[in-house]
Amino acid sequence: MNHNLFEKILLVVDGAEPSIAAANYAVQLAVQTGGHIIAVFVVDTATMEYLTRMHIFIAEEREEFERDLQKTGERYLEYVRTIGRNHKIEIETVQKRGSFHQTILQEARKLAANVIVMGGWRHSITAKDTTSVERQLVLNETELPVLVIK
């Protein structure tokens, strides 16, 4: 059986430099294997809810921050589509809201992804570094191969 192990590539986009490196890597992978990329940006409303409950955000700040994140997500997803167009491949993009790791895992299942590609991160010495915790949870809880691009 000749099955493409990279038929459906779920690319996690967050706008950080490693995420852009991951996008370039995923595009090269798709070009070489004939795979299809689905790029996902998650507006992490679960973390925003936590920050609101801890009185770090007030409701108005949270709403403004969420709108800003949605706009940021749109820009980065468009940038990823541009990278794809430059390599003559189409990249499907999805923007979701919810818990970062749960949303990524749900999308991977829903799309029947074969692999997750995401940018690397450094674990912060701050115990409340939710970004690195959420990314680690993707690694811990998925059954799919995950390519972490640094």
Residue-wise pLDDT for 109-150, tens only, equals 999 999 999 998 766 544 456 778 888 899 999 999 999 998
Q: DSSP character for 36?
A: E
Q: pTM, whole model, 2 decimals?
A: 0.90
Q: Where are the domains of the chain?
A: 8-149
What pLDDT does residue 12 have?
97
Q: What is the CATH number that goes with domain 8-149?
A: 3.40.50.620
Structure token pair of residue 109: 């299942």
Could you report the per-residue pLDDT of 59-95, keeping only the tens digit for each? 788 788 889 999 999 999 999 999 999 999 999 999 9
Q: Which residues contact 36 (CB under 8 A, 6 or more apart)?
A: 7, 8, 9, 30, 92
